[in-house]
Structure 1
Amino acid sequence: MMPAPTPPNEAERLAALYALLLLDTPPEQRFDKIVEFAAQEFDVPIALISLLDTDRQWFKAAIGMGSTCETGRDISFCGHAILRAEIFVVEDARLDPRFADNPLVTGPPHIRFYAGAPLLLANGYALGTICIIDTRPRQLDDIEMAILSTLRSLVIQELEARHA
């Protein structure tokens, strides 16, 4: 397992995240509806809006994670996704050396497929992702990538509206 490197702008990224006053807040229908739509549209058992704190990824909205509301950042797929502007896709985590021995792959929820769209605010900081996860390997076509990108835009609008 290869934990994601820390972004070079980590201190500023965290300051932008904390300024939203969103971590550890109750569920909000506006975010829940987005992950519900994502899970249905992509026919996946797990869809998340994940925010990356110092040592954890916390789920602002989640489908398919039961009572789990966070995991360690060191085992997160989203930690890798925030390092790029484009959607980060892992078609089969068992075949990817970054994730093959990750406890989220070898044990519950048995992640095989991951696609995470980084939530880049206008200030340039990636605070987390909207991601979809499956227990079987798969690929996304161009239309599906466009849909996930649109869902990312909706989440970013909601985050920035909260900050304004």
Structure 2
Amino acid sequence: MGFGAPKISNEEERLRALAEYRILGTQPEQCYDDITKIASLTCGTPISLMSLVDTDTQWFKSMCGFETKETSRDVSFCAHAIASSEPLIVEDALLDERFKSNPLVVEEPKIRLYAGFPLQTPNDQRIGTLCVIDRKPGHLSDHQHQIMEALSRQVVTLLELRKRSIRLLDALTHMHNTEGILTTCSYCKEVRDSDGEWQHLEKYLSKIADIRFSHGICDLCMEKHFPDVLEVWSDDKLDLNSKKNKPECKKSN
């Protein structure tokens, strides 16, 4: 009997999105382990996993209460869970036609309760799940359900930060390997790209890497360009300190 999940219509795009994170086969990381631990404690289950569904396997980046690093995709509950954007909740696998003969149900870890929450990227690709597993039937409360949804979103946020860091490193490495040096204007500090065009550094980096910028004003520029503002701030601070240090008048009897 086959246990395979339904085919994913956008499987090629989904696998490409997974590959962009370059996370398969990497070592355990505390940030993900903390999330699976919180999931297990929140739901009161002995097992919690961060599962990433590859072509033929499901690989566990983080495991709580489980030792196996990967299983075949053919027997994977998570492969079923990524078929929909909604969580997959199986309260008793022995009563579910899809899973009652699954090796993970009839043998170790003897899954009965499974609750898998898809890890959905900003481009709507479901690359895996954050799931909790119990060896006895059960269900999740509304409160537990909401926390699991929030934790699954947090996993994706961490993955996105990883991807942006990798892209920035790749871009800077490529820039160093191809040009060896970054040409900047001695006066305005604009950068010249490979086409000879001059542009602000943030515009240049935005073109070669997936990063965004926020803006502020450093202390030196504040002193140089906004002395009036600094003067007002200084006066306000003096008034505030004066009020704080002013002795209170005692009432006479």
Task: State whether TM-score is above 0.5.
Answer: yes
> Within 5 A, what are the aligned runs for 1:39-54?
39-54=40-55
Tell me by how many angstroms 1:33 deviates: 0.5
TM-score (norm: length of structure 2): 0.63
Report the aligned-residue RMSD: 0.8
Over residues 94-132 of structure 1, what are the superposed CA-to-partner deviations in whole Å (9 max), with x where a residue is unaligned? 000000000000000000000000000001100000000
Structure 2 counterpart SS, 1:86: coil
Secondary structure class of the residue paired with 1:116: strand
Partner-residue secondary structure (3-state), 2:5: coil
Contact 1:2 1:97 in 2 (8 A): no
Which one has more relative contact order, counting CA pairs under 8 Å at least 6 apart? 1
More helix as a share of residues:
2
Structure 1 stretches of at least 4 aligned residues deviating more than 3 Å after TM superposition: none
Contact 2:113/2:135 (8 A) holds in 1: yes
- Using the alignment, how far apart are the partners of 2:7 and 2:65 within structure 1? 27
What 5-or-longer segments of structure 1 have no aligned partner?
none
In the superposition, the TM-score normalised over structure 1's length comes to 0.97
Aligned-pair CA distance for 1:2: 3.1
Q: Distance in 1 between matches of 2:42 and 2:35?
A: 10
Determine the structure 2 residue equivalent to 1:27: 28
Q: From the CA coordinates, give the structure whose radius of gyration is larger.
A: 2
Q: Which residue of structure 2 lines up, in the alignment, with residue 82 of structure 1?
A: 82
The count of residues paired between Structure 1 and Structure 2 equals 163
Structure 2 unmatched ranges of 5 or more = 165-253
Amino acid at match of 1:8: S
The residue number in structure 2 matching 1:10 is: 11
What residue is the counterpart of 1:92 in the other structure? 92
Q: Secondary structure at the match of 2:8?
A: coil
Matched letter for residue 109 of structure 1: P
